[in-house]
A = this chain, B = another copy of it.
Amino acid sequence: MPEDGRNGSQPLSHTVQYRVIYGDTDKAGVVYYGNYFRLFEIGRTELLRCRLDLPYSRLEEMGVIFPVVEAYARYKASAHYDDLLEIETCLENNTKVSISFSYEIRRGGKLLVSGLTKHASVDPTGRLIRIPQAILEGLAAR
C-alpha cells in the first residue's frame, strides 16, 4: 500500500478452477459460447464468498440482489472438453446502485475468454436500492 494511504490500486480478484464437461461443449468440440456466462457466475460468486466473506445467498437474505444488466464476452481461443480452466474474476468500480465484475478465463496461463458483467442493486421487488453499507464496507476494506 503506498505511503499516502491510498489503497484500491490493487483490484480485488479471485481465481477458481473449473473442469469442462461434455455438457458444456457443442458439436464444434469447444465450450458453447453461452456457457461461459455460467463460468462467470461461478467466478463472481466465489470472489464474494472467499474474498469478501459475502456468500450471495447471504446478500439475498439481507434483501438485496444483483441482477445482471449487461454482459459481454470476447472469445480469443477455444476451451475444450476436459480442460482444467482458471476463472479469474476482478471486482471493478462500483457506483451506489451498481457493481461490475471482469473475468479472464485461462488454460495453463493462455487467455481464452475475457468478459464483463454489470449488476444493478435491487430489492426483492426489483426496485433500485443503494448497495447496503455492510457490503460497501466489505468492498472498501479489501
Residues of A in contact, count (CB < 8 Å): 39
> Is A1 interfacial (CB-CB < 8 Å)?
no
CB-based contact A41/B22 at 8 Å:
yes
Shortest A81–chain B CB gap in Å is 5
Tell me whether chain A's interface is mostly helix, strand or loop, or mixed. Answer: mixed
Shortest A126–chain B CB gap in Å is 8
CB-based contact A69/B74 at 8 Å:
yes
| CB-based nearest B residue for A124 | B28
* Chain copies in complex: 4
> Is A42 interfacial (CB-CB < 8 Å)?
yes
CB-based contact B28/A32 at 8 Å:
no
Q: Say yes or no: A26-B28 contact (C-beta < 8 A), given A68-B33, A68-B75, A73-B71.
A: no
Q: Which of B19, B30, B45, B55 makes the CB contact (< 8 A) with A21?
A: B45
Known contacts A23-B34, A26-B27, A70-B75, then 8 further A-B pairs from the complex at CB < 8 Å, ordered by chain A residue:
A22-B26, A22-B28, A30-B67, A33-B37, A33-B68, A34-B71, A56-B82, A67-B78
